[in-house]
Amino acid sequence: MLLLIPGGPSGMAAYEDVVPLLAEHYTVLTYDPRGLSESTLDDPDRDIAVETQADDAHRVLRAVTGEPASVFANSGGSNTGLVLATTHPGQVRAVVVHEPPIPELFPDAPVHRARYAGIYRTARTDGVSAALGKFLPLAGFNVPEDPDELALAGVAATLKNLESFLGRPNLEIFFGPMWRPLARYAPDLAALRALGERAAAGSAVMVNTVNYVRDSLGRSQADVALLLAGNGVGTIVVALVVPRVLDRVRERDVMLAGACVLIAGMFGAIGLSTVDTGGWRWTVAVVVWAVIGSGTGLVLTPVGRVLRRSSKAADRPAIFAAQFSLSHACWLLAYPIAGWLGTGIGFTPAWIVLGVLALAGIAFAVRYWPRHDPEVVIDHRGQPLSPGRGAAKAIPAARRPAG
């Protein structure tokens, strides 16, 4: 199952050209987000929280399948996809987010925050057409700062075509109740990271990349983003391939292979950190960071399958919560090591310590995860696991979320 979450003011019509191509390989599911196109909205004056959008996506998936799905989300829909992945990890096999608008993560967040607020005010005072004009540069459209007559005509044509394709009602919702929650959204980065041995290698990427690029390589802040993107590309490519591999290869083998790839990337980074000069280091760093990302994808992608087949349905909330807690305990150990040691005594000794921790994680997994692990649901005897005191309420399945 592949869930396509539309972005911005788009409904599911945005994917109509690619759905036939994707349907050759997947069962494709998409929908009109709350308030857009054919999906209704009861109170257009009330902001639509990103968490509400994610809950809608969760209910759409639940109405169609009980198995984990791959998720692709674009633009503003990416924020929905990220929240879906963190709040309902059992439903998401892999998630790919394309150009998520998250100004809170930018170094100059106050500047972007002001721009988003300005667009909202423009929509309120001058209308959605004027707001769309201000939005185009943020969305990646090439709008010259001092356009000549020909460029102005091109911008006007772009605005007209977009407004016609998206529809004015969708724009009213997008620049109205959808806009402020999107602009304020900041992802739960901790919840997007998981699993033990990944923490040691991953912390070198997440904690040390900025200092390594700026201080050791002497490169720009933009290159920090590029190196992190290389890591992300490695993760995404593997996450898209692994579900098919798991049809033929056991989860244990895939995850241990990923751990070995992580170790290889970690020690590649250690070797790189011992060299002080040479323009070639940048190219090698991109490759090493991508290798670490690939190992991350191999380790993380099968987690949901392992936990689901190792538990009963009633136990799964507690099982997933326990895995979440254990993985974050590993981050709690690895992050300070990466930060304090990297700053205090240098990248090389800090990354050696992290590499040793990662090796210890692999040894632990090999020792305590049997090679011939039976693929049956474990019967937890004794007192049932309890996810908490809350009670779940069934929501009737629907073709699309109601407002």
For 206-218, give one letter per residue: b (16+ CB within 10 A) or e.
Answer: bbbbeebbeebbe
352 residue type, one letter:
I
The two structure tokens encoding residue 258: 């990923």
Q: Which CATH class is domain 193-377?
A: mainly alpha
CA distances (Å), origin 320, targets 64, 88, 170, 385, 392: 22, 10, 37, 11, 16
Per-domain residue ranges of the chain: 1-188, 193-377
Pairing of the two strands 92-98 and 69-74 = parallel
Residues of the chain where predicted confidence (pLDDT) is lower than 70: 139-159, 161-162, 164-165, 188-208, 210-211, 215, 310-311, 343, 372-403
* H/E run at residue 5: strand 2-5
pLDDT at 197: 40
pLDDT at 205: 53
pLDDT at 189: 65
Residue 389: DSSP 8-state? S
pLDDT at 400: 38
* Residue labelled with tokens 């050791």: 216
Residue 10, phi-psi category: left (phi > 0), alpha (psi -120 to 50), beta (remainder): beta
Rg of the chain's alpha carbons, rounded to an integer? Answer: 23
Chain segment 71-94, per-residue pLDDT in tens? 998 888 989 998 898 888 888 888
Chain segment 118-139, per-residue pLDDT in tens? 999 999 999 988 888 888 777 6
CA distances (Å), origin 147, targets 119, 129, 140, 142: 20, 19, 16, 11
Query: Which CATH code of 3.40.50.1820, 3.30.2350.10, 3.30.70.1140, 1.10.10.10 fits the domain covering 1-188?
Result: 3.40.50.1820
**Taking the complete model, does pTM exceed 0.75, yes or no?**
no
pLDDT at 203: 47
Backbone phi and psi for residue 289, each to the nearest 5 degrees, phi listed first: -65, -35
Rounded CA separation 174/36 (Å): 8
Backbone phi and psi for residue 37, each to the nearest 5 degrees, phi listed first: 55, -115
Contact 163, 132 (CB under 8 A): yes
pLDDT at 143: 57
pLDDT at 213: 77
